Structure 1
Amino acid sequence: MSTKRHTLYNLAGNILSYIVLLVTVPLYLDLIGLDRYGILSIIWLLLGYFGFFDFGIGRAVAHKIAGLRKGDQDGQKDVLWAGLTSSMPLALAGALILYFVLQFVLGRWISMDAALHEESNAAVIWVALSLLPLVLSSVFNGVLLGNRQFLAINVVDVSTRALLQLLPLAAALIVSPDLASLAQAVFWARVLGLAAWALACIRMVSGALTPRWRIHLVQSLWKYGGWITLSALVGPLLSGLERFFIGNLQGAAAVTLYAVPFSLIAPVVMLAGSLSMALFPRYASIGREGSLQLAQRATGAVIVMITPLMVLLAFLVQPFLAVWISPEFAQKSMGVAQILVVGFWANSLAKVFHTQLQGEGKPHVVAWVHLAELIPFLILLSVLTHQWGISGAAMAWTIRTVVDMGLLGYKSGAWQWRTPLFLAAFLLVTMASVLSYMMSLDLYGLLGVGLPCLMITFWWSWRMGLGGYLRSLVPGVFFK
């Protein structure tokens, strides 16, 4: 199958998940309120962060299987069971640690009233248990990714993400909107997701249910996965820690004012993420020269495709929030979305370099880059959040993503910041963000300034190759 088809499968899966998000967020806010939703977003964030307790085994499984001879069923079974036996004790240890971390974060760090504090205490055990199916799912995902089964990956992934949004919502409607009921629903969504991942894997790998043990494979997975783990430890802190600062300084409601615009813009990165996921097995199976050329082409494609989308978002996101949630919500979150647009543009490019380095067997480079960013980011986040609240937190996150893009791009060798393509795109996105903030919620002003900016950006992107990329995607769905 072609990279184009794989990318489109991944992109379609992300778009479906985004639609579910757009539908459910206003319903959540109506049913459970700003404070509970803020706490729920922190619970989701912590649960996702503790997914690092797979210790990179899932991605190591994908990397190992991508390098196997095609049709090597015995080899795949060996890798699958090496991954599962490695992940099971890690999942149990992670769940135990997560339980105590949640007790501290929800009990002492996030500002909330006594009633919510009592609800959060009852929810902790269910959130901790949810880590078990999450970690084990990553192994089955790795097997499918190594085999380039992107259609199956996206069917299961979209279904799981939909369950994670819809089951808690159903629990709030039918049972109770308290945090304990929501956390139980999250747990059962994860269990159903694990069952779906396992079934997809069993159908693909012959005899997958027969246990196998190869100690040399376990050692190999740990060697690769160890660096992935270091990156997984630090990476989510760099992309979620600001919510904990906001929750501590300004309360759970302020977390929602930041998290909703963040969640609204974040899926735009799915274009780069979809392409990067499709390329990962190829990076793992070709030499350095071919990998470099592949990443350079991917970087150019992401720039010309993502820049018009980000300019469009810069002008539309605030009016959309006013209609989607409320004008009051849009006013209170003013500035956050515009700042984050620049950050997510940079994050899209960083995705390409991140995946290239891991696919080439260099996860240690990504880990060291993220580790080097952590302390400066913490200092910057503390200063800017104290000074400007949620807008300051957005500034700190955006500055960090721009630096991350530059460092990973430099280390990958696939990108140079001086290229006119990059500089023009960065200038267009930044200019659109500044102008949209100056226009505030003035619809006529946004249209008067936004339309010319969008037309200029689209014309530039088309001249730089957007037309060729778009034309090549459509036949890529049907032909190799």
Structure 2
Amino acid sequence: MSSSDETGSSPRSRHILTSTGWNIIGRIAPVFVAILVTPRLIHLLGLSRWGIFTIALSLISTLGIFDLGLGRALTRAIADRPEGKTTPETADLIFTGSAMMGLMGGLGGLVAAGLVGLWVDHGLKIAPELHSEVLWSLWIFCATGPLLMINAAFWGVFTGYNSFRTVNLITIPVSVAYYVAPVLVLYVWDSLIGVMLAIFACRLWLTFAYARSLLRLVPALKHARFRGYLLKPLLRIGGWMTVSNLAFPILNYVDRFMIASVVSAAATSFYTTPADVVTRFNMLSSSVSASSFPALASSWRREPERASEIYCTSVLAVSALLFPPCLITALFSHAFLSLWIDASFADHSAMIMSFLCVGVFLSGVDSIASGLLDAIGRPDVNARFSIGEIIFYLPVLYLSLIYFGVPGAACAWAVRICADYGVRSLVSLRFYAPLKPAILRVLPATVSGAVLLVAAMVGVSSAMAAGEMFLSLLIFYAVLWFVCLNHGEREAFMSFAGKIRKKIGINI
């Protein structure tokens, strides 16, 4: 645990960078394992059972609806505890929130199990000999609902205490086991039921590992009690967060359905294929936003200057992490798609991919602004903002498709994200005035990054694109280093970089 955890003080810039580093490792490590293991898993399961397995995994996001925003609300409540101290009421809050999320996970699992039963019996087209195996495997998966929610609650508590190193060290081996364990099971039991039992065991392992570490972090949990009155503030905050969570998939996936309806189903692939690649970059921005949210929640009330510093550092960190992959993808989108798929596909999708890169860059920056409003206890503003966006965005998206085709949809999405960030920043100033210096300080980086990404959309030769890449990187990081970062942030970065070099044994 960092010093900030031990003393109860708010994290500074260096803690945000360190926490972000742990979050990136925690997210990327299992992805590499998944890439290696997935071909073998497909071979052992076969296409039919693999398809069912992927559908089961998609149920995770569906069950997340039953979270009611309590996980994030719990993080905020823990981070914003009075004077940063852990009291018996803090322990009661943790126990109450976790128990409630476990109950909601159980309810979600029961609902999902009922719907899955109807789907397998009446809607799913599978071989008769697979019917029983598929039904039981999906029921077992639904039974992990309570564990899924309890683990989400425990994660929220760890992040509320800024214990990112601890929680990622626990999570990484279990996340790896999610992919490795099913393969090992299939060698001794060729059944989807065995795969789901392996996943159940992994989730149970994670629950016990989290609980054991939490008892060391918050010893008062041994005597905690369920206090119903503590749920009211959590549900008030979490309810608005749930509205935002429901609006988010509409804003981010309605374009795909509208393309299929207005243009054609075949044309959707020209949009979804590059989108699935580019949106993977959100893994970087979510690593930063997960670190900044509890830090903002713990400092906004008591130390507004520090909250402003954390906001600034977080936005600049997101910009610094996202700009290179977005720039390279925008510049070489046609070459990449030609190699990956074919030249004909690239002719249709390259411009779309470049537009999406601009949107993903600004979306990552906007996630920090959105997190700030949640952190200061105004998730209602984000929720209302998202609903308003839907009203304005849908007709713009439709007209863009009518007049400009699929590239118009990508452009409309990028413009929406740009407007989203600009308006949300102004709204944040209205509700949290101390943020003004930070917003002004990050503006050169976000604007220069967006402008350079738009410039990268102009088609040039490969040699010119390589030169443009180096020049754009030089301009962007010069603006970031000399214009946006203050002395403390430069020191924090150098200290963090020094630790990384020391860890991997590089001496300069």
**What range describes the TM-score normalised by the shorter chain of this pair?**
0.7 to 0.9
Q: Which residue of 1 aligns with 2:7?
A: none
Of the candidates 370, 374, 378, which is equivalent to residue 354 of structure 1?
370
Cα deviation, residue 239, structure 1: 3.6
Residue aligning to 2:493? 473
> Are 1:303 and 2:319 counterparts?
yes
Out of 167, 171, 184, the position equivalent to 1:153 is 167
- Whole-Å separation in 2 of the counterparts to 1:351 and 1:82: 28
CA offset at residue 151 of structure 1? 0.3
Q: Structure 2 CA distance, aligned partners of 1:451 and 1:71?
A: 53
In structure 2, what is the Cα distance between the partners aligned to 1:175 and 1:431? 55
- Describe the shift of the 1:315–1:124 C-alpha distance in structure 2 as closer, same or farther (beyond 3 A): farther
Shift of 1:134: 1.6
Equivalent residues of 2:448, 2:476 under 8 A apart: no
Q: Does 1:144 align with 2:158?
A: yes
Structure 2: distance between partners of 1:337 and 1:38: 27
Code of the aligned partner of 1:349: V
Q: Which moved more, 1:296-305 or 1:219-228?
A: 296-305
Structure 2 Cα separation of the partners of residues 185 and 329 of structure 1: 43
Partner amino acid, structure 2, of 1:91: G
Q: Is the CA contact 1:38–1:256 (under 8 Å) kept in the aligned structure 2?
A: no
1:132 aligned partner, one-letter code: P
Residue in 2 that maps onto 1:442:
none
CA drift of 1:286 comes to: 2.5
Q: Secondary structure at the match of 1:224?
A: helix
Q: Aligned to 1:87, which of 78, 101, 111?
A: 101
Distance 1:351 1:478, change over 3 A: same
Taking the aligned partners of 2:344 and 2:45, their CA distance within structure 1 comes to 16
Determine helix, strand or coil for the equivalent of 1:277. helix
1:429 paired with 2:442, answer no
Q: C-alpha separation between the residues in 2 aligned to 1:185 and 1:396?
A: 43
1:8 CA displacement:
2.1
Mapped contact 2:270–2:349 kept (Cα < 8 A): no
Percent identity for Structure 1 against Structure 2: 22
Query: Aligned-pair RMSD on alpha carbons?
Result: 4.6
CA 1:472–1:293: 2 relative to 1, 3 Å: closer
**Higher deviation after alignment, 418-427 or 2-11:** 418-427
Summarize the Cα distance change of 1:122–1:245 in structure 2 as closer, same or farther, 3 Å threshold. Answer: farther
What is the CA–CA distance in structure 1 between the aligned matches of 2:388 and 2:314, rounded to whole Å?
26
The match for 1:78 is: 92
Q: In the alignment, what sits opposite 1:62?
A: 75
Higher mean C-alpha deviation, range 360-369 or range 259-268: 259-268
* 407-416 or 61-70: bigger deviation: 407-416
Structure 1 unaligned runs (5+)?
440-444
1:231-246 equivalences in 2 (<5 Å): 231-240=244-253
1: distance between equivalents of 2:36 and 2:407? 26
Q: Offset of 1:43 from its aligned partner?
A: 4.5
Alpha carbons 2:98, 2:150 under 8 Å: kept? yes
Alignment pair present for 1:162 and 2:186 = no
Q: Is the 8 A contact 1:58 1:138 kept in 2?
A: yes
Letter in 1 for 2:166: A
Larger radius of gyration: 2
Check 1:88–1:14 CA distance in 2 against 1; reply closer, same or farther (3 A cut).
closer
Letter paired with 1:273? S
Cα distance in 2 for partners of 1:74, 1:400 equals 45
Paired with 2:96 and 2:235, the residues of 1 have a C-alpha distance of 10
Could you say which residue in structure 2 is the equivalent of 1:7?
20
CA distance in 2, matches of 1:184, 1:205: 31
CA distance in 1, matches of 2:117, 2:344: 30
- Gap change, CA 1:243 and 1:115, over 3 Å in 2: farther
Distance 1:168 1:250 in 2: 40
Equivalent residues of 1:384, 1:396 under 8 A apart: yes
Aligned pair partner of 1:363 in 332, 355, 379: 379
Correspondence 1:375-414 to 2 at 5 A = 375-377=391-393, 397-413=413-429
Does residue 199 (structure 1) correspond to residue 212 (structure 2)? The answer is yes
SS at match of 1:452: helix
TM-score, normalising length: structure 1? 0.77
1:390 CA drift (Å): 8.0
> Residue 100 of structure 2: SS of its match in structure 1?
helix
1:279 is aligned to: 292
Q: Structure 1 residues 115, 449: closer, same or farther in 2, change over 3 A? A: farther
SS in 2 for 1:208: helix
Number of residue equivalences: 466
Question: 5+ residue gaps in structure 2?
Answer: 3-14, 430-434, 500-508
| Whole-angstrom distance in 1 between the partners of 2:199 and 2:266 | 21
Could you list the per-position Cα deviations for residues 325-380 of structure 1 after superposition, in whole angstroms to 9, with x for gaps in the alignment? 66599759944543432221121111111111111111111122222233555666
Aligned equivalent of 2:146, options 132, 139, 145: 132
CA gap of 1:378–1:86, structure 2 versus 1, over 3 A, is: farther
How much has 1:122 moved relative to structure 2? Answer: 6.3
Cα gap change, 1:40 to 1:142, in 2 (>3 Å): same
Q: 1:32 to 1:215 in 2, by over 3 A?
A: closer
Equivalent in the alignment of 1:460: 475
8 Å CA contact retained: 2:337, 2:343: no
CA distance in 1, matches of 2:357, 2:45: 28
Shift in Å at residue 267 of structure 1? Answer: 4.0
> How far apart are 1:455 and its partner, in Å?
1.1
SS for the counterpart of 1:212 is coil
Match of 1:448 among 463, 470, 476: 463
Task: Report Cα offsets for 1:89-115 as digits up to 9, x if no partner.
Answer: 311222233345667889999xx9655
C-alpha contact 1:34 1:252 (8 A) present in aligned 2:
no
Give the Å deviation of 1:474: 4.2
